[in-house]
Chains A and B, each alone.
Chain A
Amino acid sequence: MNISVIVFPGSNCDRDIALSLKKFSNKDPLMVWHQDHSLPESDLIVLPGGFSYGDYLRCGSMAANSPIMKEVVKSANNGSTVIGICNGFQILTESGLLPGTLIQNQGLSFICKNTPLKVENDSSFFTHNYKKDDVINIPIAHNEGNYYASDDVVKDIEDNELVAFRYCDQDGEINNKTNPNGSIKNIAGILNKNGNVLGMMPHPERAADSIIGLNDGEKFFTSIIESLQ
């Protein structure tokens, strides 16, 4: 099993996600530098959180144009599995692997907090160990996490059951009050139509360690590792 974590200048959750993946797979992921023109053979490609290229201009826009992303897009279109978390999600939308875009939070400021999510899709490669409608607590930490897409795109996503997670409260209520950043329909993470690409703003790698006090992210990693085996 080969997992590649792409490192952009300004990535800052690369180490965190690599350690979580190692914890559940017992294998060190390959750290791939953004200027590499070829991608090692990978069963899973991860775009980590952070501020790639400082997130100047638009979040993820410059990373989406880096040499390695050409290879990632090619590989994803050939069916490789790709996860983008936080800045990684922004890079996925900027590079066209996922529809929609992530704009500035409604409250106009950075938010870092543990956030309840409702599991919407429990059959995907990434989420099958959860049950539909589970409420899980996973931290968010972003300034541009407000998911936006046109009405027909959102309809398409919902009709095809491509929403992975939505923001909610501890009782699973989904409404404006339980929406931390203004995302349309409280969307926190989506899949592509083939089900091989997932983008999500919350950080499961921050919820898989009991000494930190959060472990609802563990099933995310066990789902992935089981799918890969």
Chain B
Amino acid sequence: MTEITKELVEEHGINNDEYKFILDSLNREPTITELGIFSAMWSEHCSYKSSKNWLKKLPTKNNKVIQGPGENAGVIDIGDGDAAIFKMESHNHPSFIEPYQGAATGVGGIMRDVFTMGARPVALLNSIRFGDPKHSKTKHLLSGVVSGIGGYGNCMGVPTVGGEVEFNSCYNDNILVNAMCVGVAKIDKIFYSKASGIGNSVVYVGSKTGRDGIHGATMASAEFDDDSDEKRPTVQVGDPFAEKLLLEACLELMTKDVIIAIQDMGAAGLTSSAVEMASKGDVGIDLNLDLVPCRESKMSAYEIMLSESQERMLMIIEPDREQEAKAVFDKWGLDFSTIGILTDTNHLVINHHGKLKAEIKLDILESGAPSYNRPYKIIREPEFDKSKVSEVLDSSIDILRILINSPNLCSRRWVWEQYDHMVMNDTVLTPGGDAAIVRVHGTNKGLAISADSTPRYCSADPQEGGRQVVAESWRNLTSVGALPIAITDCMNFGNPEKEEIMGQFAGVVSGMIEACNTLDFPVVSGNVSLYNETNGKGINPTPVIGGVGLIKDLNHFSTPLIKRENDVVILIGKTDGYLGQSIYAKEILNNTSGLPPRVNLENEKKIGDVVRDLINIQKIDTVHDISDGGLLIALAEMCIAGNIGVKLDLNKEEMNHGFLFGEDQGRYIISVPKSFLSSTIKTLEGKGIYSQNIGETRGKKIIINEQDQISIETLRDLHEKWFKEYMEG
């Protein structure tokens, strides 16, 4: 028997107090298998010990929410008996170590979270962040991550419809790979993970268990150091083909009412699925590990319990339905093995080779899990120094040329053309817009989906940043005409044991709470990834928001693409020309300090609700929200997409860089046919919303004035240039 030394306990990331609690609760020393189980369940990744006291405060309900946080994924009602089921999750550290497999298994994992609830996955999105483009690892990591995401999603036949890519040196040694999946199910056919029925069988299905990713959950929450190379062999390899079979087999079995509860084996594998399912159902669970299908010989109980082999599920079914269930998995060529039974003991009991390897009262693992109120300090940047702005002499078009060809504003075509974004034939709006639109199969309604974050705002003012990320997600969905319903969040932060990092977390969550409440946009699922830090240097706080909204009638939605000449271009929302934390400030002024733009949530809601009405009722079909890069960048994107120019008509006070490149929040650009103009203006004025005509769609150029103009063709070439040259150069 392995001796449990102080070092061994430490290696498992369990601190003195936690270990003392284990000793007291068990009334004895844990076995090595038990130590592994405690370590996995109490890792930051599974227990949310640093974050849960904050996360609890997030709003999680509205009249469309069917299931909030706590299940495999969140569930919302999208009408007609249909539900959308979605979640976002990080796979940051594994992707840094092995970019292809790390990203691929991240995509695989998030899809399992969705189809385990009975939903067919219909859309994938991803939010990926890399270091400085000049950093030696960036290109290799980016190329591996993109092929990994594509490799898995394409093979599964689920379209990857949107997402974002950001470069910033704070991610040099800590890239972020967040994947989101949205699925659709019937409301009366949703499957949950709560085990029930003493005597029912615990069934293992899917691929075999190998030594993949052992210590994965522990690794995913540990800070990197220069010895990270040593931790390499633990990376999992994804098998999208096996997952495709698992998906079809699970959905086929789910039509038969055989499954009582089901959960995928993700982080901490068999341990977390068994413990969580039993705990939720308030039952005990006995497992015989001799019955677990293994890929390798001589695996120990410890290894079997902690393996993170992919493409596996745990189900609870009645013993007399086993044959029926097995037949489905046989058809798809997947393993099916009854490995245990539900008991009334409230204990997790594990036997292997005839020996008792673990016996733990479940509430010690779950409710006894540590939870910390870590000290925090919220730090904000000083006021933005705008004195340098007047020294910039370049014309606005020259600035536009630079920005549209810069790493963070250029076209992401190189990325999304490697993803099958069309399979399933329901992708109505493809990547590159504000939000993707995916038709709910067989209906005339659509889901609008977006995934994004603005970490530089969150770093400069965590609370304002928290408000902004939620507001921007809401705005993106509104821009296409959708009613925003709920979000999933993926919270990527540094080391929470440092009070300024915990302050970022606390500040961002507080801001999010305000925005979620005001916009009626609750959180239904999510994931926290802490310790994104290398050699003491943390990433920018990066709360990625995955928003889902509903378009009831696909005859009325809008896109950023300009569709006609002679439309009037209207800017909705007030422009102050504030440049703090803008892309302009970074790229042109080389200034990354100062506060971000303010979000006025009441105003945000008022404006967005009217924009949505304009789309749904008054048939406005061309809308783009203004975000990174400001007004002129947004206009350029609209012109490039539609291959139609705009002649701007601005007064003298507006001819400045602040007006054209500032990132004031709560603004939209719409393009309105003249026949609709008076009714549009009347609606806006009637609701007391500030708007101004800024020009007309016309020709093939953006014209600011006689001296300052650029052709759409030149703009497009610049827009498409950077990424391709960077990756292929």
Q: Which A residues are closer than 8 A to B by beta carbons?
A: 9-10, 12-13, 15-16, 19-20, 49-51, 53-56, 109-113, 139, 141, 143, 203, 205-206, 209, 211-213
Query: For residue A19, which residues in chain B have a CB less than 8 angstroms away from its CB?
Result: 425
Query: For residue B425, which residues in chain A have a CB less than 8 angstroms away from its CB?
Result: 16, 19-20, 205-206, 209, 212
Q: How far is the CB of B241 from chain A (nearest CB, A)?
A: 3
Q: How many residues of B contact A (CB 8 A)?
A: 31
Query: For residue B332, which residues in chain A have a CB less than 8 angstroms away from its CB?
Result: 9
> Once the chains bind, are B424 and A9 in contact (CB under 8 Å)?
no
> Once the chains bind, are B241 and A206 in contact (CB under 8 Å)?
no
The verdict on B92 contacting chain A, using a C-beta distance below 8 Å, is no
Q: A51-B244, A112-B417 known; A10 and B155 CB under 8 Å?
A: yes
> Once the chains bind, are B419 and A16 in contact (CB under 8 Å)?
no
Q: Give me the 5 closest cross-chain CB pairs, A-B, nearest first.
A: A12-B157, A54-B241, A51-B155, A141-B420, A16-B425
Query: For residue B333, which residues in chain A have a CB less than 8 angstroms away from its CB?
Result: 9
A3–B114 alpha-carbon span in the complex (Å): 33
Chain B 412-453 interface 0/1 with A at a Cβ cutoff of 8 Å (1 = within)? 000011111111111110000000000100001000000000
A16–B426 alpha-carbon span in the complex (Å): 9
From residue 526 to 545 of chain B, which have CB atoms closer than 8 A to chain A?
none
> Once the chains bind, are A211 and B554 in contact (CB under 8 Å)?
yes
Query: For residue A51, which residues in chain B have a CB less than 8 angstroms away from its CB?
Result: 154-155, 157, 240-241, 244
A53–B428 alpha-carbon span in the complex (Å): 29
Q: Using A16-B424, A141-B420, A213-B428 as known contacts, list a sample of 8 further A-B pairs with CB atoms less than 8 Å apart, ordered by residue number in A.
A: A20-B425, A53-B241, A54-B239, A55-B155, A139-B422, A203-B422, A205-B425, A212-B425
> Once the chains bind, are A109 and B418 in contact (CB under 8 Å)?
yes
The verdict on B666 contacting chain A, using a C-beta distance below 8 Å, is no
> Once the chains bind, are B422 and A141 in contact (CB under 8 Å)?
yes
Q: How far is the CB of A221 from chain B (nearest CB, A)?
A: 13
Q: Which of A9, A16, A56 contacts B423 (CB 8 A)?
A: A16
Q: A10-B155, A54-B155 known; A212 and B420 CB under 8 Å?
A: no
A49–B420 alpha-carbon span in the complex (Å): 12
Q: A10-B155, A15-B424, A51-B240 known; A112 and B245 CB under 8 Å?
A: no
A113–B428 alpha-carbon span in the complex (Å): 14
A50–B158 alpha-carbon span in the complex (Å): 11
Query: For residue B151, which residues in chain A have a CB less than 8 angstroms away from its CB?
Result: 110
The verdict on B150 contacting chain A, using a C-beta distance below 8 Å, is yes
Q: How far is the CB of A49 from chain B (nearest CB, A)?
A: 8
Task: Tell me the nearest residue of chain A to B728, going by C-beta.
Answer: A107
Q: How far is the CB of A137 from chain B (nearest CB, A)?
A: 12
Q: A141-B154, A211-B439 known; A9 and B422 CB under 8 Å?
A: no
The verdict on B313 contacting chain A, using a C-beta distance below 8 Å, is no
A19–B245 alpha-carbon span in the complex (Å): 21
Q: A50-B157, A54-B155, A141-B154 known; A10 and B424 CB under 8 Å?
A: no
A185–B124 alpha-carbon span in the complex (Å): 35
Query: For residue A110, which residues in chain B have a CB less than 8 angstroms away from its CB?
Result: 147, 150-151, 154, 418-420
From residue 224 to 249 of chain B, which have CB atoms closer than 8 A to chain A?
239-242, 244-245
Task: Tell me the nearest residue of chain B to A19, going by C-beta.
Answer: B425
Q: How far is the CB of A36 from chain B (nearest CB, A)?
A: 12
The verdict on B156 contacting chain A, using a C-beta distance below 8 Å, is yes
A16–B159 alpha-carbon span in the complex (Å): 13
17 contacts between A and B (CB under 8 A): A9-B244, A9-B333, A12-B156, A15-B424, A16-B424, A49-B423, A50-B157, A51-B240, A109-B418, A110-B418, A112-B154, A112-B419, A139-B422, A143-B154, A206-B422, A212-B426, A212-B427
A143–B147 alpha-carbon span in the complex (Å): 11
A209–B242 alpha-carbon span in the complex (Å): 31
Q: A9-B333, A212-B425 known; A113 and B417 CB under 8 Å?
A: yes
Task: Tell me the nearest residue of chain A to B239, going by C-beta.
Answer: A54
From residue 560 to 618 of chain B, which have CB atoms closer than 8 A to chain A?
none
Chain B 396-422 interface 0/1 with A at a Cβ cutoff of 8 Å (1 = within)? 000000000000000000001111111
A110–B420 alpha-carbon span in the complex (Å): 8
> Once the chains bind, are A212 and B147 in contact (CB under 8 Å)?
no
Q: A10-B155, A54-B239 known; A112 and B424 CB under 8 Å?
A: no
Query: For residue A10, which residues in chain B have a CB less than 8 angstroms away from its CB?
Result: 155, 241, 244-245
A138–B425 alpha-carbon span in the complex (Å): 13
A13–B155 alpha-carbon span in the complex (Å): 11
Query: For residue A143, which residues in chain B have a CB less than 8 angstroms away from its CB?
Result: 154
Query: For residue B554, which residues in chain A have a CB less than 8 angstroms away from its CB?
Result: 211
Q: How far is the CB of B480 from chain A (nearest CB, A)?
A: 14
A109–B416 alpha-carbon span in the complex (Å): 12
Query: For residue A53, which residues in chain B have a CB less than 8 angstroms away from its CB?
Result: 241
Q: How far is the CB of B413 from chain A (nearest CB, A)?
A: 9
Q: A51-B155, A141-B154, A211-B439 known; A112 and B240 CB under 8 Å?
A: no
> Once the chains bind, are B428 and A13 in contact (CB under 8 Å)?
no
A209–B244 alpha-carbon span in the complex (Å): 26
A9–B423 alpha-carbon span in the complex (Å): 16
Query: For residue B423, which residues in chain A have a CB less than 8 angstroms away from its CB?
Result: 12-13, 16, 49, 141, 206
Query: For residue B422, which residues in chain A have a CB less than 8 angstroms away from its CB?
Result: 112, 139, 141, 203, 206, 212
Q: How far is the CB of A84 from chain B (nearest CB, A)?
A: 17
Q: How far is the CB of B674 from chain A (nearest CB, A)?
A: 25
Q: How far is the CB of B184 from chain A (nearest CB, A)?
A: 14
> Once the chains bind, are A54 and B240 in contact (CB under 8 Å)?
yes
Q: How far is the CB of A58 from chain B (nearest CB, A)?
A: 14
> Once the chains bind, are A13 and B419 in contact (CB under 8 Å)?
no
A224–B150 alpha-carbon span in the complex (Å): 32
A67–B384 alpha-carbon span in the complex (Å): 70
Interface-centre pick from B151, B244, B428 (highest chain A CB count, 10 A): B244
Query: For residue B245, which residues in chain A have a CB less than 8 angstroms away from its CB?
Result: 9-10
Query: For residue B239, which residues in chain A have a CB less than 8 angstroms away from its CB?
Result: 54
Query: For residue B156, which residues in chain A have a CB less than 8 angstroms away from its CB?
Result: 12
Query: For residue B155, which residues in chain A have a CB less than 8 angstroms away from its CB?
Result: 10, 12, 51, 54-55
A226–B573 alpha-carbon span in the complex (Å): 55
Q: Which of B147, B420, B439 contacts A112 (CB 8 A)?
A: B420
Query: For residue A16, which residues in chain B have a CB less than 8 angstroms away from its CB?
Result: 423-425
A213–B641 alpha-carbon span in the complex (Å): 14
A109–B147 alpha-carbon span in the complex (Å): 8
A111–B420 alpha-carbon span in the complex (Å): 8
Q: A54-B155, A141-B422 known; A12 and B147 CB under 8 Å?
A: no
Task: Tell me the nearest residue of chain A to B427, going by C-beta.
Answer: A212
